[in-house]
Structures are given as C-alpha cells and as structure tokens.
Amino acid sequence: MKKIFGLFSFCILGFSSLSAAPLIVDGIYLIVNQQVFTFSEAEEARNALRQQILQEGQTLDEAEIVLRVEQRLIAELLLRSRAKTLKIDASADEVQERIGLLREQNPQLRTVNDKILQDQIADDFRRQRLLAREVDAKVRVGEEEIAKLCKVQTVELREIELVQILLRGEEIPERIKIIQEQFEKGMAFKEMAKALSDDPAAERNGGRLGQFRKGELLPAIEKVAFQLEVGQLSDPLETEFGTHLLMVQSEVLPDALKCNALNESQRKQFEEQAFQQVRQQAVEKYIAELREKAQITVNPFPKGWNG
C-alpha cells in the first residue's frame, strides 16, 4: 500500500501527533486560493519535521525548519485548491474503507477523531488523483533516461584498475604533449609510464596504482578517475603530488551490470527508478506553475504564541 502522504514524507498532519480532541481554530497561518492552514496545524507540521530530523540523526536550524514547512504547506494547499477546481473528489465509502484498513494496521489510530481521519484521507485521495491526471499521465521514460540512470549507478558502484603517469619538475606542458601524442599513436601506457613517469615505482609497476572503489582515492583524483571510460586518458590533473595523467586499465561492474545489455529484471528496475526521478521533477515543476498563478498569504505567528 502506498504511503498516505507519499509526496510529503514528514506527513503534513502526522498521525502520530493527532489526538482525539477536536481541532481548536486558533488563527489563520496560511491562505492559498481560499484554502487555509491554522497556526496549530503549522506548528504540528514543524514538530513532525523536527522529530523526523532527530530520528535521522541530522541537524537543521530552526529558520530552515520554518522555511521548509512553509513551502510544503503551500504546496499542499496548491494541490488541494487545484483538485477542488477540477472537482476531483473521494467517495465516503472508499474513505471509510481506508480508515478501517489503517486502524487495523495501526491500532493507535482507533482513538483518533473520525472527522480528522476522514478529512486527511479524502485529501490524500484527491491529491493522488490530481497528480495521476495532471502529472503522471504526461511523464514519459525512454531509453535515454534508463541508460543515464544505469550509467550513474555503474559509476557509483564499479571498481576500477587505475594507472597513472606522474610528472614533476620542469617542462611539464611539453612532456604532457609528448605523452598525449604517443598515446594517440597507440604506445602502451605501461611502457610510457616506465619511461616518462616521475613516480619511482613506475619503472617497476608500469604506473599501476591498484583496484579502487569510490571513496578509496583522493577526492580530486576520484572525481576524474570515475568519469573515465576504460582505456581513456585523462586531462592533466594537478594535486599536491604533481601533475597526473590517469587511465582506467580495466573495470568490474556491479553484478555484471552492462548498460547496453540489461536483462528484463534490470531494465524494469531502472525504468521504475527513472520514472520516479522524472516524476519528482515534473511534480516540482507543476507545483511551481500553480504557485505562479496563486494568491498566497502567510501570516506571522502571534507574539508569544506557544501552540
């Protein structure tokens, strides 16, 4: 079963913070196209985000929490307003069926006021149907998106055998040119490293640095090395050790992953991941477009207000 508030992971009015007591209307915090959130609802959302951040072991200053919640609540009301305009609704029967299922799975919800649950679940149905109609139906994932995602994962997980020619001292530009010319002519990298590298070990190992996964190299070298194809010579890279010319001698791909020959299971997995990425971008764009046309008012919390 999908999460009730799949779009907003922290849950706008998190069930964990709901009580059986009726909502006290304490003042209007946010108005979006005549849809509103109160101060107490905004504070509940802030508390839910604070709890999520704490559980994840992250840190976030209070100003950032306030801003994130404000943006998420605005997005929620934009979607609610649009669903109302399009007359997208949920039936009482499907709402009650969802409530029954949720209470069966989460006994603590049995003490939550029916009206609160009904409103939240109905809003969720409307939101899902709105996005399915106006966003999901237009999302297209092709071979380009699948290949791009596969390549990213391959870069993240592959293991490479790295070789280098290290240059120090004088006339480095001239020496780089010689190496590049000899490489283009097909001279073996190992032989060039033995003859031209200033690394004392190169004469013995032909410039071989070893087998590496991401996180095992100096950041500057890793950034370049993991972008190289097998047999590709890098541009000159300056570090505190000198000037490096790198090449990936060979690679080991995760689970024999070959982006140009995915099996059915791998392709389906990448297709779903790519769809979710493209969809998320489309949802963000859709909300931004709704926001451009919306009337939005954010009222400051009353001085001394403590919820």
**Along the 307 residues of the chain, how does pLDDT read in single tens digits?**
333 333 333 333 343 344 444 444 489 999 999 999 999 999 999 999 999 998 888 888 999 999 999 999 999 999 999 999 999 999 999 999 999 999 999 888 888 888 989 999 999 999 999 999 999 999 999 888 998 888 887 777 889 999 999 999 989 999 999 999 999 999 999 999 999 999 999 999 999 999 999 889 999 999 999 999 999 999 999 999 999 999 999 998 776 567 878 888 888 999 999 999 999 999 999 999 999 999 999 999 887 666 5
Residue 95: phi and psi, rounded to 5, are -65, -45
What amino acid is encoded at 42 in this protein? A
Residue 17: phi and psi, rounded to 5, are -100, 0
Tell me whether residue 150 is exposed, middle or buried, using C-beta atoms within 10 angstroms of its C-beta: 0 to 12, 13 to 18, 19 or more. Answer: buried
The class level of CATH for 15-140+283-298 reads: mainly alpha
In angstroms, the CA 228 to CA 20 distance is 59
| pLDDT score, position 157 | 80
Instruction: Show Cβ contacts of residue 300 under 8 Å, excluding neighbours closer than 6 positions.
Output: none
| pLDDT score, position 148 | 87
Instruction: Show Cβ contacts of residue 260 under 8 Å, excluding neighbours closer than 6 positions.
Output: 147
Residue range(s) occupied by CATH 1.10.4030.10 in the chain: 15-140+283-298
| pLDDT score, position 229 | 92
| pLDDT score, position 306 | 62
Q: Evaluate whether the domain defined by 159-252 bears CATH number 3.60.15.10.
A: no
Q: What is the pTM of this model?
A: 0.62
| pLDDT score, position 266 | 87
Residue range(s) occupied by CATH 3.10.50.40 in the chain: 159-252
